[in-house]
Structure 1
């Protein structure tokens, strides 16, 4: 899998490159020091994953994420890099379409795991952080969207487990279902909520109160 690194700190980029390129199945194909450089690099390099810093001087990672997702057919997966997991900027990036977030203090094995998780199509979330952030962002629009969705009982169970950060395989084990069955339920949940991916579905679940802390 190929990765584009985006961070305004050269030392952060160098550290991430060293960790990722030590893996036989990961190649860092490019770097950028600001969000303004991301779109042309994505178009030229076609990375599988963009590791995106949030706070950058010219264009932040939130706007760069929006730009890539609306401008590139079959866009890359976007993994937000952040210092604080409860940063409101991170929440805005996830709402913009990022697929998960990675803490800059993460250990090398956690960095590699994060890239592999989002590259595989899963989301990398920190449920406790999302709960605390969603408490400040709950809105009537999200409540209405979930109410209109008409989720079945099983789909509701799947959404609640998604909100706990469980993967499809973990949900299957929890509910004693086959993985393909869980994938079908997840697809139905996304379609009914009008969510681009499971990250946006989980955010809607928290903002609407469908999933509550604890």
Structure 2
């Protein structure tokens, strides 16, 4: 058997933190290695315990979850930790800032336990947890912030087909939707996405979305 996924839970509300911990610890493939009630403690515990995933609240004392995420998973962090942001606040601004800070996923606390567990497992594998509809809404609202002032960037090291797949990812299409659009298999789409991430040195499809808009590939 493989080692269980090690999870750190950070939430300032004791009842919620206890509930999350109980749900996670009940899974045979997961274990909670630590818990805390503020962002600064989350950073310190994560750096010491090196969990596979940090379940992070947004609004917390001392240091909020967005800044804590940036310190653990943001650009320039030598050994980033995977962060799954879980909050009661369904605000686009929070989602956008969490993803920019380096979070690998975003869930609401009213999501069913099965969705939370799926999110942890997904993020632990190195994949991103971002619903296509959320992607569409976010890029529609915030694309102007990350889109370049000039035209599309040149010399992007992708084939025409890879560029096509990247643009569809940036539009928020899932692998199955991309497969249907291009009349190819989902496995082929996965291969293209993997190649794109490798060539562009991107962590996941969330970063791919931002890359596409920053380089003017999507309007």
TM-score normalised over the length of structure 1: 0.81
Report the count of equivalent residues: 209
Equivalents in 1 of 2:117, 2:151: separation in Å? 35
Determine if contact 2:128/2:206 at 8 Å carries over to the other structure: yes
> Which residue does 1:32 correspond to in 2?
36
Question: Match for 2:105 among 100, 107, 116?
Answer: 100
Would you say the 8 A contact 1:80–1:93 is kept in 2? yes
Residue 137 of structure 2 corresponds to 132
For structure 1, the residue ranges without an aligned partner over 5 or more in a row are: none
Q: Higher relative contact order by CA 8 Å / sep ≥ 6: 1 or 2?
A: 1
8 Å contact from structure 2 (residues 10, 17) kept in 1: yes
- What is the alpha-carbon distance in structure 2 between the residues aligned to residue 104 and residue 51 of structure 1? 11
SS at structure 2 position matched to 1:27: strand
In 2, the alpha carbon distance for the partners of 1:161 and 1:22 equals 35
For structure 2, list consecutive stretches of 5 or more residues without a partner in the other structure.
Answer: none
RMSD over aligned CA atoms reads: 3.0
TM-score (norm 2): 0.79
Output the CA distance in 2 between the equivalents of 1:210 and 1:103: 30
Query: Are the structure 2 counterparts of residues 73 and 204 from structure 1 closer, same or farther at C-alpha, using a change threshold of 3 Å?
Result: closer
The Cα of 1:22 is off from its aligned counterpart by 1.5
Does 1:115 find its partner at 2:120?
yes
CA contact (8 A) 1:17 1:28 kept: yes
- Judge conservation of contact 2:53–2:81 (CA < 8 Å) in 1: yes
CA distance in 1: counterparts of 2:193 and 2:161, whole angstroms: 10
Higher helix share: 1
Whether the aligned pair in 2 keeps the contact of 1:142 and 1:204 (CA below 8 Å) is: no
1:55 deviates by 1.5
CA distance in 1 between partners of 2:9 and 2:59 (Å): 14
